[in-house]
Structure 1
Amino acid sequence: MTMHDDQVDVTTEIVAALIAEQFPRWSGRAIRPLSSSTGTVNAVFRIGDDLSARFPLRPADPGEVLAVLEREAEASAELAGVSRFPVPEPVALGKPGAGYPMPWSVQTWLPGTVASDADPSGSDAFAEDLAAFVAALRGAGTRGRVFSGDNRGGVLADHDDWMAQCFEESEGLLDVPQLREMWSRFRELPRTSADVMSHGDLIPGNVLVAGDRLSGVLDTGGFGPADPALDLVGAWHLLEAGPREVLRRALGCDDLEWERGKAWAFEQATGLVWYYVASNPAMSAMGRRTLDRILASTE
């Protein structure tokens, strides 16, 4: 089953043909599709030992896709310059061809195990590493840039329509009256601090673990200015209560910022549960786990 109704099909044969046509220096390398259980925006293929190729899954105008990929490459390179933890770095942009209708990207490959497979949720050391990563991004400076208005990271109440859809779709899956009540409180939380630089999507599938330590961070193309609370979603997606407090103390979060981080995690998790319940059960289950953590913190 595909994750999206309009999903573009990407096969190993298509990837091999694109590489042969556009990047013949990489021809002959092994091409391995990666599990889609944690990635929902791109199909990802490992190219040899040191590269990965990412193919947008949902159809869009090629020119618009290229502009997005160029912005993501620029953002990834900027993040790489401030993070002491390894992150993928942009290598090349590919063009449509071989039956695939959009531009695509090539990055460096990072070794490690995603946190959804090597659960670091009980590790204080991992929490300290995650806090250090977030602090480094916050310290990078926005250079006068502000939140773009897309996706999460601006005004919580701007997501009312999306949350209304989520609550409607979640009937029979979740305790919707309870969730509606929580959102009515979350959406009113005021914003009092300026934008900082943010990863924007610190979920288990975007975090690499070695032992009980952070060994790398993936999906860095969203690096940009946002609500300082946005990267606190990682506290709820990735950590149990004890390590979560370790992260909070390390970042010096006040009560309002902490609640806003919880609100952003709530907004994301609620959508994951229903949207992926059939097409990506692992992603749906991650959303449920995050909601359970949020609910437990309010008891």
Structure 2
Amino acid sequence: MRLNSLVKPLLITGFMLAGTAQAAPDAREVLEASPVDDIVAQYPEMMSRGIQDGLKQSGQVPPMVADSIGFLVSNSFRAADIEQRVVANLEAALTPEQLEEVHGWYQTPVAGKIAEAEIAASAPAAWPEIRSRAEDLNKRYQGTAREKLFDRFDAASRATESAVDTTIAVQLGLGTAMAALSRDSVHHEKMRERLESQRPALRGMVGQQVYDGYLFTYRDISNQEMNLYLDFLESEAGRSFTRVVTNSVQQAVIEPVESIGARLAAFGNFGGE
């Protein structure tokens, strides 16, 4: 066999391998490199626990009913469905260059350290510790650079804004069901208006919870590392990634809750016939 006949296949193979190595990561790879997929995996339990606790604290329904609604919520979420929505929206909204930039950030040691902290703090099992340490952490960081970095973090991550929007949507969905179960004739739009009128107060309450979570989650992250993280979040690629992920997860969370609300409302109406 002539040398040329060997060289051509080797050159072609080399070009193919080089192209594979340099190809931009796709949306699925970016999601897997980030902590988002691990956090999304906890959403069924997170939503179930959050709604159960909220209903019990409000006293709207007996504890047994709150537990039943929480069970319905847990079984209405599939992490795989949420992930698929996020992937599809990332593919549609981000350029290959932006996906590559996001993927590159999450390959760094700092990003890995921060991702581990975010995954651990998002688990429902960590919530009691976040609450129990909130007062101490607020005092410890009062007047410090970490406190001052929060506004940047909150604006870049859209944490409070997203949490308030989701809270109102979830309360509206469940509120409609509770009204039906209690034979309350409150109209859906009136309930929406009432909840929207409470947005400023809700923002203050949720904002404090987000701040408590921020102090707890990043307590072992240095200010230098936080600044690197904020630089990423504030970059064009970081902003786009955060916006798409937040909106996708928010919608994926709200839709099942609205469906549950409609089912409970139908059940309440059926029982009244």
- TM-score normalised by L of structure 2: 0.29
Q: Which has the higher contact order (CA 8 A, sep 6+)?
A: 2
Structure number, greater radius of gyration: 2
User: Which is helix-richer, 1 or 2?
Assistant: 2
- TM-score normalised by L of structure 1: 0.28
User: Which is strand-richer, 1 or 2?
Assistant: 1
